Amino acid sequence: LTLLFGLASINTLTVISVTRYIKGCHPERGYCISNSSMTVSLVLIWVAAFFWSAAPLLGWGSYTDRMYGTCEIDWAKANFSTIYKSYIISIFICCFFLPVTVMVFSYVSIINTVKLSHALTGLGDPTDRQRRIERDVTRVSIVICTAFIIAWSPYAVISIWSAFGHPVPNLTSILASLFAKSASFYNPIIYFGMSSKFRKDIFILFHC
């Protein structure tokens, strides 16, 4: 379940970064972002997450218990089996390296576009106001993606490191795992701190 929801999260953040990229760098293609395209994206997000998390249950890869009361992919088996190693390398590339590359490319492109055009300044007309809203949403998305990458990078690194037969101290493994799994509580804090609309909705929800 941790792997399933973790993969769904990184897939969702990747799709968000692509939509931000289209909105920020290619607004003329904004028609591509519709209810139907978002529905298809959500289906693909969860299909991919189910595929990679269910594969070890079907024999491609393996899960193992850990000493701190949870389970995760058995990285050590990659030393003894080409099949297990192929799964670990595949999930690292497809579910971490590629999504992170897409996110970094998208947000770097957005930042460069904003710097070059200065299009997101001024509030004189509705178009400028809409651009300011898009900028704020993009800023929140960048922070969320950055936090996610920072949280999961140590775990991804030691996982691929151990998969190739290099020993990893137990304390390092535990801390990296806990740090990665703590990423689930970052988003509400980021939204609350950076989005005034989110704060207003929370206050309304709790009758503040």
Mean pLDDT for the stretch of residues 103-107? 88
Query: What region does 165 belong to: left with phi over 0, alpha with psi -120 to 50, or beta?
Result: left
pLDDT for 144: 82
Average pLDDT, the chain: 81
Contacts 24+ apart (CB under 8 A), 11-14: 11/44, 11/45, 11/48, 11/49, 11/95, 11/99, 12/45, 13/99, 13/103, 13/141, 13/144, 13/145, 13/148, 14/99, 14/102, 14/103
Residue 66 three-state SS: coil
pLDDT for 114: 72
pLDDT for 128: 63
Mean pLDDT for the stretch of residues 178-183? 79
Residue 165 three-state SS: coil
CA neighbor of 148 nearest in space, from 186, 92, 110: 186
CATH of the domain at 197: 1.20.1070.10
- Asked whether the CA dihedral 72, 73, 76, 80 is positive or negative, the reply is positive
pLDDT for 184: 73
Q: Mind listing the pLDDT tens digit for each residue in 10-30?
A: 899 899 889 888 887 887 777
Q: Supply the range of the domain harboring residue 163.
A: 1-206
Q: Mind listing the pLDDT tens digit for each residue in 35-82?
A: 898 999 999 999 999 999 999 998 888 888 766 667 778 777 777 778
Mean pLDDT for the stretch of residues 112-116? 74
pLDDT for 119: 47
Could you tell me what percent of the chain has a pLDDT over 70?
88
E strands, the chain, are 63-65, 71-73
Mean pLDDT for the stretch of residues 182-197? 79
Rounded to two decimals, the pTM is 0.77
What's the domain count of the chain? 1
Confidence of residue 149 (pLDDT cuts 50, 70, 90): confident
pLDDT for 59: 84
pLDDT > 50? residue 123: no
pLDDT > 50? residue 124: no
Confidence of residue 130 (pLDDT cuts 50, 70, 90): low
